[in-house]
Copies of this chain bind each other. A is one copy, B any other.
Amino acid sequence: MNYNIVPLNELINQFSKLPGIGKKTAARLAYSIIEQPLESAKQFADALINAKEKIRFCNICFSLTDEDICPVCKSEKRDKSTVCVVEEPKDVLAFERTNEYYGVYHVLHGVISPLDGITPDKLRIKELMARLSDGTVKEIIMATNPTVEGEATASYISRLVKPMGIKVTRLAYGIPVGGDLEYADEYTLTRALEGRNEI
C-alpha cells in the first residue's frame, strides 16, 4: 500500500489510541471528520483541549469537576452521611444515571493490586479516612468492581472503617436485570441464590 497521506494517518493513529477503537474504526472516524466542515473539527479540537485543561478532581470526593468542589459534593440535596466508594470517576456517572442514589461519592482512582505495584497508599484511601473522622458519615457503600482486586480493596477498606463504628455495605451480587439465567455464570448464580429475598 503506497497510499500514505500523513495528516490522515496521524488522525487515524490518534483515534486508534482510544480504548476499544481498532484500526478500521479509527479510519472510519477519521474519514467522518474529513467529511465534516472545518468548523466542526475545530469545535471537536476545542472540546478536547477544554475538557483536559478545565477538568480537575473534586477537593472532597476526587471525582471530576470544573470547579473546586464537584456538583454532587456542593449540592445541599445530597445526603452527606452516605458515601459510595468507587474505583474511577466514570463509576460516579454510572450511579448518577440511575437517578436513585442521593448520597455522595469517594473516588479511589484505582484498586489495590500489588502485582501492578498499586499499594493502598497510591489510592485516595487516606483522604477517605480523613473524611470519615468528623462523624458526619454513617455508612459507606463499597462499590468497587466485582473483580478480585475490587473485592480485596473493599475488604481492606472495610477493615479500616468498621472499628470507627461506621456501617460498611457492599453492592448486592445477583443476576443482571434483563439477563438470561442460561448465560449467567455459576458464581453469579450462586450469589443470586444466597442473596435471595422473600417476595
A positions within 8 Å CB-CB of B: 1-8, 10-11, 13-14, 17-21, 25, 27-34, 36, 38, 40-55, 64-66, 70-72, 75, 77, 88-90, 92-93, 96-97, 99
Contact = CB atoms under 8 A, between A and B. Distances in A.
Given A2-B71, A71-B4, A72-B3, A38 B52 contact: yes
Contacts of A8: 51, 55, 64, 66
Among all A-B residue pairs, the 5 with the closest Cβ atoms: A45-B45, A41-B52, A11-B51, A3-B96, A1-B96
B71 A3 contact: yes
A67 to B, nearest CB: 9
Given A5-B66, A11-B50, A42-B48, 19 more contacts: A1-B99, A2-B71, A2-B75, A3-B96, A5-B71, A8-B55, A10-B51, A11-B51, A14-B48, A17-B40, A18-B29, A27-B90, A34-B52, A38-B53, A41-B49, A42-B49, A42-B52, A44-B48, A48-B48
A55 B96 contact: no
How many chain copies?
A: 2
A7 B48 CA distance: 9
A34 B5 contact: no
Contacts of A28: 19-20, 90
B41 A48 contact: yes
Contacts of A36: 52
Given A7-B55, A34-B64, A55-B8, A48 B50 contact: no
B1 A31 contact: no
21 contacts: A2-B72, A3-B70, A3-B71, A3-B96, A5-B70, A6-B66, A7-B66, A8-B51, A11-B51, A14-B48, A17-B40, A18-B29, A18-B32, A20-B28, A31-B88, A31-B89, A34-B89, A41-B52, A44-B48, A45-B45, A48-B48
